[in-house]
Amino acid sequence: MSGGLFDIPSDLQNTYWGLVGLHLREALIPVVVGLVVALPIAQLCVRLRWLYPPVLWVTTILYAIPSLAFFVVLIDYTGQTETTVMIPLGVYSLVVFVPAIVDGVRSVPQETLDAATAMGLGPVRRYFQVQLPIAAPAIIAGLRVATVSSISLVSVGMLIGNQGGLGNLLNDGMIYHQPRLIWLSVVGTAVLAILADALLVLLRVLVTPWMPRGNRRSRPVDEPEPMQAALEDAVR
């Protein structure tokens, strides 16, 4: 191993940028899967209010399980693979997504739902074309928390056979007494989390143009309210 900043020990069988790609893959796939799974669960919780407390209780209990214990249970079934790292991360994301989606959807005024129904929108179209767009700020806020959390937790995968992305550098840094590798791991993970969060902030700006940006400005008389705009888009 030479002394270059981004030189990686040969036992990792990867380059630095390869580890960055592995880290992002293991962090972002569980978040996407968690969001897809949380959408129908949250809708059930909105329609069946009695279901929300037990669902929230179950997701909280699952979140409380240490990731290492999760890995030990899964290794017998999925081996020392990326899947073993990603399954717990996907499960952990539910404790963020379910409340975010439920609270966001419940914040939609009843008169807006009544207007959507009067325009001929069924429950499914109303959910995806009216409720979710209006709840987008709350959902993206949950997405930011889940994404940053997932990026940080991927490093624990170093304990099950170099499946921790940039966390593998942390492990090798301690083994070989190389502070450079430790800094590459810590700083690299922090930079990925910051960049991912910044991109999600930009996404929120793009998908919620009605949200205030900096100094609040008065809305022109002919500019539609957010609820009205969502309904007009839904029936097009």
Per-residue pLDDT of 132-160, as tens digits, reads 888 888 899 999 999 999 999 998 888 78
Residues 202, 25, 92, CA angle at the centre, nearest 5°? Answer: 80
In the DSSP assignment, the letter for residue 219 is: P
Q: Residue 5 contacts by C-beta under 8 Å, 6 or more apart in sequence?
A: 180, 184
Q: Is the pLDDT of residue 30 over 90?
A: yes
Q: Tell me the pLDDT of the chain averaged across its residues.
A: 82
- Of 11-20, 37-46, 102-111, 214-223, the one with minimum mean pLDDT is 214-223
All domains in the chain, ordered by first residue: 14-208 (1.10.3720.10)
- Check residue 210 and give its pLDDT: 64
Sign, Cα dihedral of 235, 216, 194, 107: negative
- Check residue 1 and give its pLDDT: 45
Q: Residue 134 contacts by C-beta under 8 Å, 6 or more apart in sequence?
A: 104, 107, 108, 112, 226, 227, 230
Q: What is the pTM of this model?
A: 0.80
157 vs 80: CA distance, rounded Å: 9
99 vs 121: CA distance, rounded Å: 25
Who wins on pLDDT, 81 or 236?
A: 81
Sign, Cα dihedral of 95, 97, 101, 107: positive
What tokens appear for 28 in the block? 């972002």
The pLDDT > 90 percentage for the chain reads 34
Who wins on pLDDT, 219 or 150?
A: 150
65 vs 8: CA distance, rounded Å: 32
Secondary structure E strands in the chain: none
- Check residue 50 and give its pLDDT: 92
137 vs 142: CA distance, rounded Å: 9
- Check residue 115 and give its pLDDT: 83
pLDDT (mean) for 27-37: 94
Q: Which of 5-9, 198-202, 231-235 has the highest mean pLDDT?
A: 198-202
What tokens appear for 231 in the block? 């309904």
